[in-house]
């Protein structure tokens, strides 16, 4: 039986833990926040997170230090996120592959999509563009399909690695068209766009913002945008539906998470700050300029969204005829 002194100590420790968490959150953050971004520097998501840092740092009182960990369908970044301390000083920018697609594509993932992360908010949806080098002289999706069928070994498609969202789109396309377009892995949309401009790659389908400067410079040709309606940034470019790709229903998104176990008051504080910014009309307009659509949620809404998105992922993976494989570190 515990002595009275032992009981007093136990109660004091419990009470200290109870009051410490709110106090810790109240003083949070008191040092820079590391943000692991699941894609290469220079890509649309990377650019947006740096935009957000400039807006949020004055409010938080601390900067966000961006750490890019691209490649492997977001697995490398997710693994680093899982391994980080759950103290609010590591945040993770995740996306559709991280939570919706990878669990259906890979065995032996180095993270558990359901248990290893505390979801904070969905950030935005991507407006994606299907693009080719302007030098190819291809002006429509129909032209691309015809040439890919006529020259089966002449076309490569930029992906973010095995099982990534772009690779699933490629497999779906090959399945629908009867083509044999090959996958070439990159670490982000920026490198894919540059490879297209240089003529080292023939096809890419990434966030539209990656391509816009190269489109304006006449280096890259956009064939279609993956969005419910035409983008005001490129109003002459048809939607997937208009271009004959309407049966492809997936949609890219990005969100913010932290390692599982991060104190709830910190999650709530971060949610409040990020959603406030994402609902600001001026910042929303800036996001539209990056070909993205602000889509903030509560933590609970984000969890529910991911559950629904996984159903769509499962259906796409089935259509793309993509079997589950063992994850092998790069």
> Taking 90 as the threshold, does the pLDDT of residue 273 lie above it?
yes
pLDDT at 315 over 90: no
Whole-angstrom distance, CA of residue 174 vs CA of residue 141: 13
Q: Where are the domains of the chain?
A: 8-126+251-324, 128-226
pLDDT higher than 90, residue 23? no
Mean per-residue pLDDT, 121-129: 95
Alpha-carbon distance of 162 to 238, in angstroms, equals 28
Q: What is residue 16's predicted lDDT score, i.e. its pLDDT?
A: 45
User: What is the mean pLDDT of the segment spanning 1-15?
Assistant: 42
- Whether 13 has a pLDDT exceeding 50, the answer reads no
pLDDT, residue 322, reads 84
CATH code for 128-226? 3.40.190.10
Confidence of residue 18 (pLDDT cuts 50, 70, 90): very low
pLDDT of 42 strictly over 90: no
The C-alpha R_g of the chain, in whole angstroms, comes to 22
Please give the Cα distance from 194 to 201 (Å, whole number).
9
Q: pLDDT confidence of 10, banded at 50, 70, 90?
A: very low
* % of the chain with per-residue pLDDT over 70: 92
Name the band, by pLDDT with cuts 50, 70 and 90, for residue 24: low
Task: pLDDT band for 71, please (50, 70, 90 cuts).
Answer: confident
pLDDT at 211 over 60: yes
Q: What is the pLDDT of residues 225-250, one digit of tens each?
A: 998 889 989 999 999 999 999 888 78
Average pLDDT, the chain: 90
Query: What pLDDT does 14 receive?
Result: 43
Closest by CA to 37, choosing from 114, 87, 90, is 90
Residue in 155, 158, 156 with CA at minimum distance from that of residue 70: 158
Report helix angle 165-177 to 299-319, nearest 10. Answer: 30
Res. 330 pLDDT band, cuts 50 70 90:
low
Q: Are strands 203-207 and 90-95 parallel, antiparallel or unpaired?
A: unpaired
Rounded CA-CA distance 220/194 in Å is: 9
How many beta carbons lie within 10 A of that of residue 86, not counting itself? 15
Q: Do domains 8-126+251-324 and 128-226 have the same CATH topology?
A: yes
Is the predicted pLDDT of residue 141 greater than 50, yes or no? yes
pLDDT beyond 80 at 4: no
Give the residue-averaged pLDDT of 33-57: 94
Q: Is the pLDDT of residue 52 over 70?
A: yes
Identify which of 37-41, 64-68, 163-167 has the greatest average pLDDT: 64-68
Q: How confident is the model at residue 22 (pLDDT cuts 50, 70, 90)?
A: low
Please tell me the CATH superfamily of domain 8-126+251-324, with its number.
Bordetella uptake gene, domain 1 (3.40.190.150)
């Amino acid at each position: 039986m515990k002595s009275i002194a032992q009981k007093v100590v136990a109660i004091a420790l419990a009470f200290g833990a109870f009051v410490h968490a709110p106090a810790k959150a109240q003083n949070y953050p008191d040092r820079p926040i590391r943000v692991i971004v699941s894609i290469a520097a220079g890509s649309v998501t990377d650019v947006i997170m740096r935009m957000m840092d400039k807006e949020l740092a004055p409010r938080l009182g601390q900067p966000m230090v961006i750490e890019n960990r691209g490649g492997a369908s977001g697995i490398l970044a997710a693994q680093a996120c899982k391994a980080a301390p759950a103290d609010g000083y590591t945040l993770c920018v995740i996306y559709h592959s991280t939570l919706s697609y990878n669990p259906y594509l890979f065995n032996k993932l180095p993270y558990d999509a359901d248990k290893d992360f505390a979801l904070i908010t969905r950030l935005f949806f991507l407006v994606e563009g299907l693009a080719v080098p302007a030098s190819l002289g291809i002006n429509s999706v129909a032209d691309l399909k015809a040439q890919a069928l006529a020259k089966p070994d002449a076309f490569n498609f930029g992906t973010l690695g095995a099982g990534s969202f772009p690779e699933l789109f490629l497999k779906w396309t090959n399945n629908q068209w009867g083509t044999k377009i090959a996958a070439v892995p990159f670490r982000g949309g920026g490198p894919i766009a540059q490879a297209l401009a240089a003529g080292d790659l023939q096809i890419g389908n990434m966030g539209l913002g990656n391509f816009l400067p190269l489109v304006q410079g006449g280096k890259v040709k956009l064939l279609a945008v993956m969005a419910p309606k035409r983008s005001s940034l490129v109003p002459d470019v048809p939607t997937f539906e208009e271009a004959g790709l309407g049966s492809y229903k997936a949609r890219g998104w990005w969100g913010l998470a932290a390692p599982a176990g991060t104190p709830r008051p910190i999650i709530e504080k971060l949610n409040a700050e990020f959603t406030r910014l994402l609902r600001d009309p001026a910042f929303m307009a800036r996001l539209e300029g990056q070909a993205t659509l602000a889509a903030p949620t509560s933590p609970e809404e984000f969890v529910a969204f991911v559950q629904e998105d996984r159903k769509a992922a499962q259906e796409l993976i089935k259509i793309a005829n993509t079997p589950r494989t063992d994850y092998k570190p790069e």
